[in-house]
Amino acid sequence: MRKYDPVLLKDSLSSTALWVEQELDQLFMYQRSISRLPSFAGYSLGSGGKRIRPFLVRAACCAVGGDPDRALHAACAVEMIHTYSLIHDDLPAMDNDDLRRGKPTLHMTCGEDQALLAGDLLLVEAFGVLLRTPLRPGRVARMVRHLASAAGPGYLVGGQYMDMYHPVEADMDWIRLMIKGKTAALIRVSLELGALAGGAGDELISEVSREGDRLGYLFQLTDDILDIRGSTSEMGKKVSKDSDLGKCNPVTKLGLDTAIKEGEELSSDIAEVFSGLSGNWENISTLALYLPDRRK
Amino acid sequence: MRKYDPVLLKDSLSSTALWVEQELDQLFMYQRSISRLPSFAGYSLGSGGKRIRPFLVRAACCAVGGDPDRALHAACAVEMIHTYSLIHDDLPAMDNDDLRRGKPTLHMTCGEDQALLAGDLLLVEAFGVLLRTPLRPGRVARMVRHLASAAGPGYLVGGQYMDMYHPVEADMDWIRLMIKGKTAALIRVSLELGALAGGAGDELISEVSREGDRLGYLFQLTDDILDIRGSTSEMGKKVSKDSDLGKCNPVTKLGLDTAIKEGEELSSDIAEVFSGLSGNWENISTLALYLPDRRK
């Protein structure tokens, strides 16, 4: 079993969080200056979270030798897409959740209408901010294309739909396809956008893409494991939800022990592959090693 | 009073509708092939409407001497943004409408959850399709930037918020600002995208932009007049809604006769300005002249 330094990872996550949150604050100060909207989108965006996706964007950009500041807008964009999807997902018409990141969900604080609009706003603004990436137009357009694909019907929206309309007898192929859309697409595109911002070539982008998908699956797998093991206070959201709702996920399907074993093996394997890619991918390998150990 | 030929305009609107609907059908066949989503977004997108925004995109592209096929993706994109905004606006948490274009609103046919996702899907895909515009990346990125701005907090989302949270004593400045976001931004950006696709220069784009704003105001003004004069069967949606809800609009504020007079004057004036712009803007001038006469 490979070792990793949890303190270094924690520092790297914290400094990325600071980096992206400063820019998000700027964006929302600007947003308030051009509209009469209250800062409801800022409430969700500002309510913490580990900023894993911005971390992936930044780390991938640095891994290929790029200047991380070129990836800053992409880091904001993926966090905004992630936050929009949480806000809409938590709405009563969808998952009807009242707790998120240890705080009341947005519609609990400002009503469903404003939460709906806040999600719409974040979705549009994600594209708006990504377009401000200081790179040549061809590269920026390509980044926007990657984001639109990941957020669209083939991935994020499609995965959310599959999650809502589970067949009772969903098999592991079905579950993997759902996770590929619902969770992995944003993890994957974070790495792709970072690598694109850093100037990576097509072959490397394809490799990163493939591993990003597997990292996304690992992320969801460890989330589903925590959903069984964790407590509401540790997780900052409802736990054991899937099994309460009769939904399938890798843990309900494979059993806890097998799922834990799959997670550990996948984690080492992903870390190994990233270490072998062109560039310095240590930060991403470390994250892959950490995922099975995370407690929230 | 200038004359216009209503038959020519009708033909032009019909052939634009055919042009854009064929492409939208293709898009949704593709969407179904890459995801497990049902075609719920296609229900709203396929349920008619006058396709005024695609008409504006195409006419503006032709006006500046461009090949209309270069504006096809932009025409689809604005119609998709328009349709997304109607779907989310009709939801129970927002306007709670059950009739749209003479058919049950989307959430009445497939539930709120699917209607919410359908709106999200259309919003993302609007960017996806616009990115496929066959022009050089710098121009495409600029078009995407225009669309993101028009759909964002400064305009569409901001205007929808203002419409939901009317101050009781809203004055005409407030109402004009709301219309600028809620309605005019998409009318304006349709013209901008068409002119950009057709290769127009910055100065012409600015002129088109300014007039597009006024055309958008005229469009909303004549809509509000019809809301008082029309019947539900003619309009295919609820009428007299604003006054029933105690909301302000130019008609409730200025009175019907003054509003009609303002509409007629603005219509002639806009038609005149477009006729004077570089290129051949007759189709847009004709539309401006037609608006005060429309019956649905």
ipTM for this prediction: 0.92
Give the pLDDT confidence of B231-265 residue by residue, as tens digits: 555 666 665 666 667 778 999 889 999 999 999 99
Closest CA to B150 of B186, B197, B102: B186
Residue owning tokens 């069967």: B233
Smallest Cα distance from B91 to chain A, Å: 9
| CA nearest to A90 within chain B | B113
3-state secondary structure of A141: helix
Q: Provide, rounded to the nearest whole percent, the portion of chain B with pLDDT above 70.
A: 94
What residue segments make up the domains of chain A, in order of their start?
Answer: 6-293
d(CA B48, CA A189): 35
Smallest Cα distance from B113 to chain A, Å: 5
* Residue A251, phi then psi, degrees to nearest 5: -75, -45
Tokens of B68: 């209309």
**A161-175, A234-248, B127-141, B236-250 — which is least confidently predicted?**
A234-248
Minimum-distance CB partner of A117 among B127, B131, B160: B160
Q: Which residues of A touch B112 (CB under 8 A)?
A: 93
More confident residue, B17 or A232: B17
**B6-285 under CATH 1.10.600.10, yes or no:** yes
CB contact under 8 A, B119 and A120: yes
Query: How high does pLDDT run on average in chain A?
Result: 90
Query: Does residue A153 carry a pLDDT above 70?
Result: yes
Work out the angle at residue B74's Cα, subtended by the Cα atoms of residues B70 and B76, and round it to the nearest 5 degrees. Answer: 115
Q: How confident is the model at residue B76 (pLDDT cuts 50, 70, 90)?
A: very high
Q: Answer left, alpha or beta for residue A2, where phi above 0 means left and psi between -120 and 50 means alpha.
A: beta
CA atoms within 13 A on the CB side of A258: 7
| CA nearest to B33 within chain A | A154
**A6-293 under CATH 1.10.600.10, yes or no:** yes
The span from the first CA to the last CA of chain B, in angstroms, equals 22
Residue owning tokens 């597997």: A214
**Which residues are CB-contacts of A85 (< 8 A; sequence separation ≥ 6)?**
A119, A156, A160, A186
**A246-260, B172-186, B254-268 — which is least confidently predicted?**
A246-260
**Which residues are CB-contacts of B8 (< 8 A; sequence separation ≥ 6)?**
B286
Closest CA to A65 of A189, A192, A195, A193: A195
pTM over 0.90: yes
Exposed / middle / buried, residue B92 (Cβ in 10 Å: 0-12, 13-18, 19+)? middle
Residue B100 DSSP symbol: E
Smallest Cα distance from A266 to chain B, Å: 26
d(CA A49, CA A47): 7
Q: What is the pLDDT of residue A292?
A: 93
Instruction: Give me the torsion for CA of B285, B291, B294, B296, rounded to 10°.
Output: 120
CB contact under 8 A, A140 and B141: yes
Buried b (16+ CB within 10 A) or exposed e, B60-77: bbbbbebebebbbbbbbb
d(CA B80, CA B122): 6
Q: Which residues of A touch B161 (CB under 8 A)?
A: 35-37, 114, 117
Tokens of B238: 């609820």
Q: Supply the angle between the helices B137-151 and B185-197 in degrees, to the nearest 10.
A: 170
Give the pLDDT confidence of A108-131 residue by residue, as tens digits: 888 999 999 999 999 999 999 999
Minimum-distance CB partner of B124 among A114, A137, A157: A157
Q: Which residues of B touch A161 (CB under 8 A)?
A: 35-37, 114, 117
Q: Which residues of A touch B31 (CB under 8 A)?
A: 153-154
Q: Which residues of A touch B138 (CB under 8 A)?
A: 137-138
Q: Which residues of B touch A116 (CB under 8 A)?
A: 88, 91, 93-94, 116
Minimum-distance CB partner of A123 among B31, B94, B120: B120
